[in-house]
């Protein structure tokens, strides 16, 4: 039997005072979507550093206050009445709430109101209009120095200069899309517009998807339902072609980078050189196993040189652009998993590797930046894969010093000088706390203390521990016991699962990463269990890539390690085990039920992938290759081939306009289940996408809960 590591051998993770017997309140579904603000962790609105100074600002009661980092002296800078006075004097409408401010200097800030951009000088109390965009503007990118605004409207790119518009592209074909994120937002791509450092040029993605098959989504709001087509390249099918254009504002001319053939490649990690003359693109082949970092002349589009290549038999996954060291135009940092973990590498712009900056069996999760000649701030899992702490790396000595003093999951806002850090963190004892630290990790003051927002609520005891996979890997698990737990009773279990790449469900953060809905289920009398299987995030390249070409195999094996452990517990009813998951988790729910008939009495699968050949090119082919290259893998992962094995109650839920896991997946499973005379339950959310948003999410939670209550409890 798999040996269980006691929680206290790993680290002390308990909910402590959150499970006091005096707690009586229970959650509602509306609570679980945080419509009750009283159960929010504490927050400090608009907390940010004030330009290049060592002062930070925050908002309170429609006013902005300045605080000296060293002194702690607090000063009112301005309030909403002062902003409205400036707006009215300039013949603009008043605002009811203080707008989101961005502090870029020591004496002024910027804000947006009704598509108009303003500078407000809080020393002289003067407000100036600086630019505007139309109502149709999307993907807005404000250039701080020139105050130019690049944006998209429809499928074209525009630039606003003092409210005057320049149309950069003029494509009328609906299959040509400019200025938007491409490759279905894979490879860390989050935007499609890139200002040059000198503000004279704008790079933009151009996506030709005219050759990609239209996929029909149906809008039922009109009297005669309408088809809304979306371009959806399925695995193994023709994909879109992307190029990168550079528009010169002075010459009003666009050139495209000569990225060459094959056209069917991915343009990732776009970065300008600091001098604004060159642009860098990481080209990834469609097979996703060969990357080339190339340098191009931004004025002509000419290829200059190949800096380096990365290859791997399974896949290479670039997710970050180059980071140029301030003041050193010929030095940049590249992030790579080439040694098995995401680490930092210092390069020259000639392609020479100067130094590997970090190494070890841990992951750099974020590069926060340089703050002097030798010191670099990073976020990493260095001491514990369940934690993300802030570290200071001296690249000259190689010394890495932990800055954040408390265990847990941290984010950091660092002053421009690098002397001070605003540390925002949580762990299983603290819902959220804000601290001001110096760069050595000494606490200067607590900005906002944790208030235990669930102090009045009845919660089940939560624990985090490890089990072992069949190859000896540690598998982190989280268990939430039912409220009023009695070890002499036998309880039903709900296994909550995701199991796919780029996700980590179990962390040393508030509620262990569980959120409120899983605690709602524990309040209903369920033992709620979660396990992060092989394939999930922050455990290294080999841990993630172990699922390559065989999705649903090792993940299911690992989840069953958890289920078999649960069956050994005297207080678990082995005949009442349920499973719940969404998206990849939906695929896992059905995979677990079909591959282990009779083990799971009830399952709820939301937006499930059923047949990977119906999934999109970029994600699907990274993990499965194409259907022609990997027919056996696709066959084994195809849940339609195993419908006959279904036992127990299964509810499938899907949004009818899901553009990610298209509705066809679950409809195909429903059709095959009917043909196999299998009784499954099916529920749709008309007009919703890949998940339910807003108040309808509370409806979803009620639906899932009632299904388990009806058939598992």
The catalytic residue among 196, 658, 666, 688 is: 658
How far is 209 from 264, CA to CA, in rounded Å?
11
Q: How far apart are the first and last CA of the chain?
A: 28
Mark whether 222 is an active-site residue. no
Q: What are phi and psi of 339, to 5 degrees?
A: -100, 10
CA 624 to chain centre: 22
Q: How many CA atoms lie within 13 A of 613 on its CB side?
A: 17
Mark whether 690 is an active-site residue. yes
Q: Is the dihedral of CA 356, 357, 362, 364 positive or negative?
A: negative
Helix, coil or strand: residue 177: strand
Residues 6+ apart with CB under 8 A from 652: 586, 590, 605, 606, 608, 666, 669, 670, 680, 681, 682, 683
Helix/strand/coil (H/E/C) assignment for every residue in 424-468: EEECCCCCCEEEEEECCCCEEEEEECCCCCCCCECCCCEEEEEEE
Mark whether 17 is an active-site residue. no
Tokens matching residue 428: 């299983």
**DSSP string computed for 484-519:** T--TTS-EEEEEE---STT-----SSGGGG-HHHHH
The catalytic residue among 583, 591, 654, 665 is: 583
**Maximal CA-CA distance, the chain:** 80
How far is 561 from 592, CA to CA, in rounded Å?
12
Cis peptide before 460 (omega within 30 of 0): no
Residues 6+ apart with CB under 8 A from 224: none
Q: Is 139 left (phi over 0), alpha (psi -120 to 50) or beta?
A: left
Residue with tokens 């299964």: 650
How far is 293 from 254, CA to CA, in rounded Å?
22
Helix/strand/coil (H/E/C) assignment for every residue in 332-376: EEEEECCCCCCEEEEEECCCCEEEECCCCCCCEEEEEEECCCCEE
CA 373 to chain centre: 31
Nearest to 582 by CA among 474, 700, 674: 700
**DSSP string computed for 535-568:** T-SSS-HHHHHTTTT-TTTHHHHHHHHHHHHHHT
Catalytic residue positions? 583, 658, 690
């Amino acid at each position: 039997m798999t040996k269980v590591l006691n929680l206290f051998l790993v680290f002390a993770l308990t909910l402590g005072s959150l499970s006091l017997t005096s707690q009586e309140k229970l959650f509602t579904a509306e609570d679980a979507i945080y419509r009750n603000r009283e159960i929010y962790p504490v927050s400090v609105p608009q907390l940010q550093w004030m330009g290049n100074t060592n002062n930070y600002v925050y908002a309170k009661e429609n006013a902005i206050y300045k605080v000296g980092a060293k002194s702690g002296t607090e000063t009112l800078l301005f309030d909403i009445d002062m902003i409205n006075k400036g707006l009215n004097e300039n013949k603009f409408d008043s605002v009811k709430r203080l707008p989101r401010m961005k502090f870029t200097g020591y004496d002024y800030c910027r804000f947006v109101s009704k598509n108009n951009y303003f500078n407000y000088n809080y020393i002289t109390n003067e407000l100036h209009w600086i630019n505007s965009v139309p109502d149709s503007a999307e993907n807005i990118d404000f250039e701080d120095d020139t105050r130019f605004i690049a944006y998209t409207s429809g499928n074209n790119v525009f630039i606003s200069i003092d409210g005057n518009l320049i149309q950069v592209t003029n494509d009328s074909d609906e299959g040509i899309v400019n200025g938007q994120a491409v490759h279905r937002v894979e490879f860390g791509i989050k935007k499609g517009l890139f200002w040059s450092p000198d503000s004279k040029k704008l790079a933009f993605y151009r996506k030709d998807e005219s050759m990609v098959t239209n996929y029909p989504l149906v809008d039922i709001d009109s009297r005669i339902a309408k088809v809304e087509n979306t371009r959806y390249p399925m695995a193994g099918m023709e994909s879109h072609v992307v190029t990168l254009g550079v528009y010169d504002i002075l010459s009003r001319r666009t050139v495209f980078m000569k990225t060459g053939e094959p056209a069917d490649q991915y343009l990732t990690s776009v970065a300008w050189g600091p001098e604004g003359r060159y642009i860098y693109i990481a080209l990834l082949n469609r097979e996703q196993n060969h990357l080339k970092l190339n340098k191009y002349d931004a004025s002509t589009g000419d290829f200059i040189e190949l800096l380096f290549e990365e290859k791997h038999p399974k896949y290479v996954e670039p997710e970050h652009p180059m980071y140029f060291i301030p003041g050193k135009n010929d030095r940049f940092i590249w992030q790579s998993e080439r040694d098995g973990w995401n680490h930092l590498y210092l390069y020259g712009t000639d392609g020479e590797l100067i130094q590997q900056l970090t190494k070890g069996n841990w992951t750099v999760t974020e590069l926060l930046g340089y703050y002097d000649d030798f010191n670099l701030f990073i976020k990493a899992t260095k001491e514990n894969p369940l934690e993300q702490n802030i570290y200071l790396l001296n690249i000259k000595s190689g010394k890495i010093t932990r800055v954040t003093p408390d265990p847990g999951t941290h984010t950091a806002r660092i002053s421009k000088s690098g002397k001070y850090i605003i540390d925002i963190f949580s762990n299983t004892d603290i819902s959220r706390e804000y601290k001001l630290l110096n760069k050595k990790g000494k606490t200067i003051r607590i900005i906002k203390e944790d208030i235990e927002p669930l102090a009045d609520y009845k919660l089940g005891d939560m624990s985090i521990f490890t089990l072992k996979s069949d190859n000896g890997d540690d598998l982190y698990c989280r268990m939430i016991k039912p409220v009023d737990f009695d070890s002499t009773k036998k309880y039903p279990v709900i296994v909550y699962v995701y199991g796919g790449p780029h996700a980590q469900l179990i962390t040393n953060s508030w509620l262990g990463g569980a959120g409120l809905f899983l605690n709602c289920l524990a309040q209903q009398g369920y033992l709620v269990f979660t396990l992060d299987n092989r394939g999930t995030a922050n455990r290294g390249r080999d841990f993630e890539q172990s699922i390559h070409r065989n999705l649903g195999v090792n993940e299911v094996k690992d989840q069953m390690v958890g289920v078999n452990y649960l069956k050994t517990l005297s207080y678990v009813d082995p005949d009442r085990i349920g499973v719940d998951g969404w998206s990849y988790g939906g695929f896992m729910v059905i995979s677990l039920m079909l591959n282990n008939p009779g083990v799971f009495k009830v399952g709820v699968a939301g937006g499930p992938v059923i047949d990977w050949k119906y999934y999109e090119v970029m994600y699907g082919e990274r993990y499965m290759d194409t259907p022609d290259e990997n027919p056996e893998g696709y066959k084994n992962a195809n849940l339609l081939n195993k419908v006959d094995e279904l036992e127990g109650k299964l509810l499938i839920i899907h949004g009818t306009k899901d553009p990610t896991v298209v509705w066809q997946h679950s409809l195909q499973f429903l059709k095959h289940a009917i043909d196999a005379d299998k009784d499954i339950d099916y529920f749709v959310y008309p007009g919703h996408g890949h998940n339910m948003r807003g108040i309808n999410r509370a409806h979803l939670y009620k639906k899932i809960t009632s299904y388990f209550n009806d058939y598992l409890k």
